Amino acid sequence: MADVIFLERRGVPSAAICTDALQASANAMAALHGAPGYRYAIVPHPVSSLDADGLRAHAELAAPQVLEILRGPGAGGEPGRHS
């Protein structure tokens, strides 16, 4: 989470993907870096034990969320800073 916030601060449009089991620490890290409510893509836990089909299904869940985050909330909006 810190990495994508660092990247955005350098002007690189970024999106994080996080499992639902790790949201508490993701939110804490975003708040620590001055971005409370930072939006990221959420996929179900777990990931590490998935086979190729399971990973593909997760990617299909994540992709539209990532695109929406990268496009931002609308004209003039800061990418990823939905609250």
Interface with other proteins by CB under 8 A: which residues?
2, 22, 24-25, 28-29, 32-33
Is 33:61 a contact under the CB 8 Å cutoff?
no
Whole-number minimum distance, CB 51 to other proteins, in Å?
Answer: 10
Cα–Cα dist 9/23, whole Å: 21
Contact between 20 and 42 (Cβ < 8 Å): yes
Nearer to other proteins, 33 or 82 (CB): 33
Nearer to other proteins, 28 or 59 (CB): 28
Nearer to other proteins, 51 or 76 (CB): 51
